[in-house]
Amino acid sequence: MKLALLGGDPIRKTPYPIHTTIIDDAEEKAVIEVLRGGHLSGFSASPGERFLGGEKVKEFEKSLAKKFGVKYALTFNSATSALHGAMSAIGISSGDEVITSPYTMSATPSSILMVNGVPVFADIETTTFTLDPSSVKECITPLTKAILAVNIFGHPSKLDELKKIADLNNLVLIEDNSQSPGIAYKNTIAGTVGEIGILSLNYHKAIQTGEGGVALTNNSDYAYHLQLIRNHAESVVGKLPEKDQEHLTSILGWNYRLTEIQAAIGIEQLKKLDFFTKKRQNLAAYLTKQLSIFDFLTTPIIRNGSNHGFYLYPIKFESSKIGISREVFVNALKFEGISIAEGYVKPLYLEPIFQSKSVYGKDSYKGNVNYNKGICPNVESMYYEKVITTDICKYPNKEEEIDQLVLAIKKVLNNIDELKKKSN
């Protein structure tokens, strides 16, 4: 068959089904209950029961804490807000360095900038694309205060190793677990190894409330700070018991509160998390098996003791084994109607906000952070040369979508000589 790129008919001619987390009668009933009750938000920025939110927010937080096996689950209006809250709660301030990944959504390092901290980017592993503990060690300076790990694509970082590094150096480990909710890690789950773990309830995540986030922790002090930070702390602290005043007098809060409607949806969505996770894992297993015949593609690993949530399905591409560039390969598949992308995100330190070094307080920073190209060779190789991602393991896609991807790859191979000529 002739490639669509070269004038033939595409394999897939219809759009993919819209990713859904099954907003059905359960969510509708829950929302109507809130609407008829008349209280669309239960929060008030003053001491008392309403400072912690309404009935649905409290119920949702209780369900989250039970589901993830932690003492405290604090809801926020986004994972970005929750990350910001976490940085503030652990005391990151002007000039403090926080080591994190450059291979993630911008909100991860931006949360450090929001408290005038300085993101320091460590390199990633080329197997799971998570922080490389050996690179993290090399990034530690006297100014380092925390490690912000990212459990990217659905696979946990080497959390035990990162926790050990943090403990040995008197640092705090935080997990951006937006893409890996409920995923097994040894005898626990991702998002609960660090002092605070962040979940996302954005519309394209495993479960959703449209927008929303969660901070998980077992630390009562951090939980207390997070409750203050999300709800105008500065207007509340002076009215708190005297025993709390000394270390809270300068705490600044924001309006990061979740509505009752969102919480009502979240309660029902949480019940479906395991279902969606299993669907993605089953499709990913099928895709891995189907792709095993192609020697120029390396499928995701699942490290012993871990599982994988497959928020995205990452593949490593080896151009030397097929004779065409990743760009040509991916473009040919896109013309066939396949949902596929190259590179994931550009290494974040190469973005203007970091190249200019203009956001954090320079006058108070005593370090010399490096954002030059080349500081993280693994992530640059993955972005510029190796990584391909697809989201076809997301519900409600089926094996049919995967079969189409495999057929499209075979079609590329059958037309490889023509592609080589076109790309020369």
Looking at residue 247, its pLDDT comes to 57
Out of 215, 248, 272, a domain closes at 272
pLDDT for 360: 73
Residue 222 lies in a domain: yes
Look up the CATH number of the domain holding residue 243.
Answer: 3.40.640.10
Q: Same domain for 309 and 225?
A: no
pLDDT at 422: 79
55: containing domain: 25-272
Does 125 share its domain with 146?
A: yes
Let me know whether 198 and 177 are in one domain: yes
- State whether 104 and 139 are in the same domain: yes
Rg (CA), the chain: 23
Nearest C-alpha neighbor of 322 from the set 404, 403, 420: 420
- Residue pair 107/87 in contact (Cβ under 8 Å)? The answer is no
Distance from C-alpha of 317 to C-alpha of 296, rounded to nearest angstrom: 6
Q: Are residues 73 and 29 both part of a single domain?
A: yes
Q: 265 with 288, same domain?
A: no
**Segments of the chain with pLDDT less than 70:** 238-250, 361-362, 424
pLDDT at residue 46 in the model: 85
Is position 9 within any domain? no
Closest CA to 4 of 336, 383, 258, 257: 336
61 in any annotated domain: yes
In terms of domains, do 295 and 403 share one? yes
73 assigned to some structural domain: yes
Residue 186 shares a structural domain with residue 233: yes
**How far is Cα 104 from Cα 82, in angstroms, rounded to an integer?**
16
Work out how many domains the chain is built from and give that number.
2
Q: For residue 281, what is the domain's CATH number? A: 3.90.1150.10
Stated pTM of the model = 0.95
Token pair recorded at residue 334: 């896109």
Cα dihedral across residues 226, 57, 35, 28: positive or negative: positive
The bridge status of strand 196-200 relative to strand 188-189 is unpaired
Cβ(154)–Cβ(179) below 8 Å: yes
**Residues 227, 205 within the same domain:** yes
Say if residue 366 is in the same domain as residue 229: no
Task: Tokens for 407, please give them.
Answer: 């057929």
Nearest to 403 by CA among 2, 107, 12: 12
Pairing of strands 97-100, 144-150: parallel
SS3 350: helix
Q: Is residue 1 part of a domain?
A: no
Tokens (6 digits) for 143: 């100014």
3-state secondary structure of 341: strand
Kindly report, residue by residue over 297-321, the tens digit of the pLDDT: 999 999 999 999 999 999 999 999 9
Asked whether residue 318 is domain-assigned, the answer is yes
Question: How many Cα atoms sit within 13 Å of 85 on the Cβ side?
Answer: 37
> Using one digit for the tens of pLDDT, what is the confidence trace for 234-278?
777 766 666 565 556 567 889 999 999 999 999 999 999 999 999
Q: What is the pLDDT of residue 242?
A: 61
